[in-house]
Amino acid sequence: MEILQLPVLNDNYIYLLKEPISGKTAVIDPAVAEPVMATLKQKNWQLDYIFNTHHHSDHVGGNLQLKQLTGCQIVAAAADQARIPGIDIAVEDGTIFPLSQQTFQIIATPGHTSGHIVYYCVDSQALFCGDTLFSMGCGRLFEGSAEQMWHSLQKLKALPGCTRVYCAHEYTQANGRFALTLEADNPDLLLRVEVVNELRRNNLPSIPSTIELELATNPFLREHSSPLREAVAAFDEDTPAEVFAKMRLLKDQFR
């Protein structure tokens, strides 16, 4: 599957996908329509679907204009039918959605918002995770609880390590700085921060990541780490979800 990464706004990414056999296309979380239309014209592609992960305006802002201009159909969570404009196909946890020969598994990941979903392409081993999982981070808890988000992240941790992680924002450098306050001696983290800083110095994206890389360097997937537990002042009796909650609170206060 061809995946094009379109940087928009301050730090958003829109992903434009093309299934190679049928030529069917989809766009993930179009914040704005203009760069999507420009890329479609440049590539001579027709847009078939919009896949939305959640209702925030920087993920659905281009929905109605793209639908009007291309006749595409909008796929989004049934739970968010009242908040996402233009939904044609409502999906829920466990739904299998085919983009011709590419199969997408819908995984519900409440936490950032109550109706957040992610799209896992089984065939291409690519995860389009919106604002649930970030490179070395995770989304803020605007509507869900820490325990909900922790359970959502467990679903993503269980995906194959080689799965490419396409999140919706370029937050990696800031996330890396926070991660270093918790695990300053993690060699995988130290190396990754160095690599990311070099990429960003050259105005290159730090995305995609992989599940394997996140498991090694993302503090929100590493609540088992002894240095991390010590850094967040976790008690021996704290559950993994409680350690996660302490971490998320520290990140909210981090500058």
For the record, the structure tokens of 181 come out as: 């306050």
Per-residue burial over 28-41, b if 16 or more Cβ lie within 10 Å, else e, is bbbbbbebbbebbe
Strand pairing class (102-108; 96-99)? antiparallel
Helix (H) or strand (E) holding 14: strand 12-18
Is 131 marked as a binding-site residue? yes
Q: Where are the beta strands (DSSP E) in 186-241?
A: 209-210
Q: Which residues contact 200 (CB under 8 A, 6 or more apart)?
A: 172, 173, 206
- In the chain, the N- to C-terminal Cα span, in Å, equals 38
Is 55 labelled as part of a ligand binding site?
no
75 close to 52: Cβ distance less than 8 angstroms: yes
Annotated binding residue at 116? no
Tokens of 33: 């329509």
Place of tokens 């990941």: 109
Residue 6 backbone dihedrals phi, psi, to 5 degrees: -110, 110
Both tokens of residue 39?
Answer: 């890329």
54 in a labelled binding site: yes
**Alpha-carbon gap, residue 199 to 230, rounded angstroms:** 31
The answer to whether 11 is annotated as binding is no
Q: With beta carbons less than 8 A apart as the criterion, state whether 241 and 198 touch.
A: no
Among 70, 33, 25, residue whose Cα is nearest residue 51 = 25
- Annotated binding-site ranges for Zn(2+): 54, 56, 58-59, 112, 131, 169
- Annotated binding-site ranges: 54, 56, 58-59, 112, 131, 169
